[in-house]
Chain A
Amino acid sequence: MEKAVEMIQIVKRFPQVVANDHVDLTVLKGEIHAIVGENGAGKTTLMNQLYGLLKPDFGEIRIFGKKVSFRGPRDAISMGIGMVHQHFMLVNNLTVAENVVLGSETGIGPLFDLKRARKRVSELSERYGLHVDVDAKIEDLPVGMQQRVEILKVLYRGAEILILDEPTAVLTPQETEELFETMFKLRENGKTIIFISHKLNEVMRVSDRITVMRQGRVTGVLNKDETNPREIARLMVGRDVVFTVEKTPAKPDGVVLKVEDLRVKDYRNLEAVKGVSFEVKAGEIYAIAGVAGNGQTELVEALTGLRKPVSGKVYFLGKDVTHATPRELREMGMGHIPEDRHKYGLILQFPAYYNVILGRHYRPPFAKGEFLAHDKILTFAEELFNRFDVRPNNVRMLGANFSGGNQQKLVIAREVGLEPKLMVVSQPTRGLDVGATEFVHRTLIQLRDSGVAILLVSMELDEILSLADRIAVMYNGQIMGEVEPNAVSIEEIGLMMAGHRLEEIRGRVA
């Protein structure tokens, strides 16, 4: 079979680290080739060299057998390489067609021929079954649709080889499934796809061949049909990974958090949480599942004091805390692992030892009167670093300079260090690799077993099914039903996520 991409013995060094250490990559024409590896394994560096963003220090790149040396992405694009970035680069108030042709507009002289552009974009959209309305404005489109516009952009520029950099990170399960369909369609039409991911189930679902990377090297090239997730994970992490979270049945105790008919408005002043009631007991993990944007964010913000509820009641350890401030809640023993660790969880410009006392910086042992007790803070930070194995083991490093997984460890270390009675956890493994995810899950189970009540909000159904003791599914600001993980099918949860009530689903079956 024809080779679309050959990268031979690629070496790329950065100060203090060899990001690619004699890496070989061969991608055949018309295949979906997955590149998997933990954060920092060198996937993105490798792709940036293929796309002309970086120049290899050593090694050779061949595209369809022809040796190339790119001076920039423009050269790569002219050789038929296209990249769909994780963060979209679209102009919100322009239409789909305008966005697609932006930068390569056609027309007579300085005049822009929108009509012809529209026609070409809509032809492309039809041919690959992308079903995008070419006249819609980007701001009106859901995320999954916007991603298709990015793919259209790449196809419009004549790409034969498409690089998709963690494309599913921003998608709902349904949108992910649609993306996969698109990928298959592209493959049918002879396009070559390089798919970067660290979600093994997705890799197993779509790819033909898989290149596994670890610490800058290739640790395996596998045929999908001849391998399994366990083998891939071992090559990625360098040891056996436990997929099923081992846990004993929960021993729930008294009610720690009680929510009654809570209503919360979002930033647009529209009601996002429409009368939600539930209880979380000590020693259990109560999980809220649902597609992103169904009121989970606002619910968590209201419970943690970051947003004022419109009506309803919240009781924490029997006390009415509906209008309590974040500081009061923290003092009562509520920990919070926020969904966006860069926005809420960390102050990136602060060193780690300042980050691990955020929320307790004003009281002993970290403050002595008005002054910070720097020696106590440093000792505490060093203890947490050892206990949670944060790397690099340097408490003076700025928050921004840690990897995503270690930033999350910093947040978790801080919140667990609070010795909370209730832990509100939102999307704890978003963007984390297999090893870090395993760590987070183990930590949550340990917390539960030590009698902490845990409210877990997650978009990852797998995560919910393996951790939760009870599951509520949220849709459009309401809870569609509450179930136990071993007494429910994935189909039932899927239907609830799509807006059907549990009684309705089970009533139909009965």
Chain B
Amino acid sequence: MNQKLWSFLVPVLSVVVALIIASFVILMIGKNPITAYAALIRGALGSKMAIASTIVKTTPLILTGLAVGFGFRAGLFNIGAEGQMIVGAMVATAFAINVGWMPAVLAIPLTMLVGMVAGAAYASIAGFLKAKTGAHEVVTTIMLNWIADYLSSYVVTVPMGVGFGTPKSPEIASSAKLPPLMVVQATELTSGIIVAVLAAILMKILLDKTSKGYELKAAGFNPYAAEYGGIKLADNIVLAMAISGALAGLAGTLEVMGVHHRFLGTLSGGKGFDGISIALIGQNNPIGIIFAALLMGALRNGSNEMQFVGVPKHIIMIVQAIIIFLVAADRIVRTIFLRKKVAK
């Protein structure tokens, strides 16, 4: 229907408009937007290395985008992807350091599983609090983010810390490292991207094909009608938070297994929060989220090259902000439109 075309068109048009507006900003600082965008594209997709690096940056963004998007579909605003990512990565690291004796076929899936369970458990705290006491998940997940942040700072300085400089954990066992798909100079294109895309497909199946997905969406759209239809809201909230947290935990775990090979204090670096904008741009659709994450990954990666031609890479933040604004504003318009129909 029209609706489907619309939800595809809006993000695409938003990107175009955002790039046009940003080009005026580039003009204002006395640079040539065409040179800047050419550099941006070159930096993002211009070489094998650029592409590999874009994909590496995209991988965790897909997963945090899925985490937040899944929450939205079930009517929950999980701002805690950042904290769940940290906890997932941290616990997975602690496990992966000690699995040198295990073959990779076991160590790799088990490490992922541990990271996902840790993220799920951490997010479930907010889920339980909401189900039992009604505490809003926005508040609790923000608080849990800070707890995760300080806890991980402590863990990598005292019990797990090694070396000097940036607080970091020891390297994980090589059997738990993700095999690279391709190595271009120093950039390893890890197989994490396959896991991330697989996660998106699984999420799509869960939401569109299963009765559990039906329940999660029903509770997200209209909790009263869901309860009337015999759906247990409390169970659904905890489950949805757990799945959302598992995805965020996996994002952190793949960063450890595929990119850094150890836990760093700066590992999450706001990728959990980026998940919110990605979910928004991807319209909470798993496939849309893959493309939204790819866009973000490409913009981030290409912005370095833009810096070389004298255009500050923060221009990208402006582009990102305008995209989010336009997509969000569209939702406002559509919400009003839908309400009007209901009132009739």
Contact = CB atoms under 8 A, between A and B. Distances in A.
B210 A348 contact: no
B117 to A, nearest CB: 20
B221 A347 contact: yes
Contacts of B210: 370-372
Interface string B204-233: 000001111111011001101111111110
Contact of B226 (A87, A325, A330, A347): A347
A190 interface: no
Determine chain B's interface SS by DSSP, over half rule: helix
A67 interface: no
Interface residues of A, number: 34
B84 to A, nearest CB: 25
A347 B222 contact: yes
B5 interface: no
B293 to A, nearest CB: 25
A150 B215 CA distance: 41
A51 to B, nearest CB: 16
Nearest to B231: A327
A85 to B, nearest CB: 10
Contact of B342 (A304, A325, A342, A361): A342
A345 B228 contact: yes
Contacts of B227: 306, 326
A385 interface: no
B230 A347 contact: no
B229 A358 contact: yes
Nearest to B219: A347
B214 A87 contact: no
Interface in A240-264: none
Given A358-B218, A361-B214, A400-B341, A346 B209 contact: no
Interface string A459-476: 000000000000000000
A362 to B, nearest CB: 5
B218 to A, nearest CB: 5
A344 B229 CA distance: 8
A44 B343 CA distance: 12
Given A325-B230, A326-B227, A344-B228, A362 B342 contact: no
Contacts of A338: 228
Contacts of B232: 325, 327
B28 interface: no
A350 B217 CA distance: 9
B332 interface: no
A434 B53 CA distance: 66
Contacts of B213: 372
B29 interface: no
Interface in A164-201: none
A344 B215 contact: no
Given A361-B211, A362-B211, A367-B211, A87 B230 contact: no
A401 interface: yes
B255 to A, nearest CB: 31
B338 interface: yes
Given A362-B211, A370-B210, A371-B210, A348 B230 contact: no
B221 A350 contact: yes
B230 A327 contact: yes
A165 B341 CA distance: 17
A339 B213 CA distance: 27
Contacts of B343: 87
Interface in B283-311: none
Contacts of B226: 347
A110 to B, nearest CB: 32
A326 B230 contact: yes
Nearest to A397: B1
Contacts of B215: 361-362
A374 B209 CA distance: 8
A404 B344 CA distance: 8
A371 B341 contact: no
A354 interface: yes
Interface string A336-376: 10100011111111100010001101100011001110100
A359 B221 CA distance: 15
Contacts of B224: 343-344
A306 B232 CA distance: 11
B225 A361 contact: no
Contacts of A44: 344
A304 B224 CA distance: 13
A256 to B, nearest CB: 20
B306 to A, nearest CB: 41
B225 A343 contact: yes
Interface of A: 44, 87, 304, 306, 325-327, 330, 336, 338, 342-350, 354, 358-359, 361-362, 366-367, 370-372, 374, 400-401, 403-404
19 contacts: A44-B344, A326-B229, A330-B230, A338-B228, A342-B342, A344-B228, A345-B225, A345-B228, A347-B221, A347-B222, A348-B222, A348-B338, A358-B228, A359-B230, A361-B214, A362-B211, A362-B215, A366-B211, A372-B214
Interface of B: 209-215, 217-218, 221-222, 224-232, 338, 341-344
Lowest 7 CB-CB distances: which A-B pairs, in order?
A327-B230, A358-B229, A359-B229, A367-B211, A344-B228, A326-B230, A349-B221
Given A362-B215, A371-B209, 11 more contacts: A306-B228, A330-B230, A342-B342, A344-B224, A344-B228, A347-B225, A349-B222, A350-B218, A350-B221, A371-B210, A401-B341
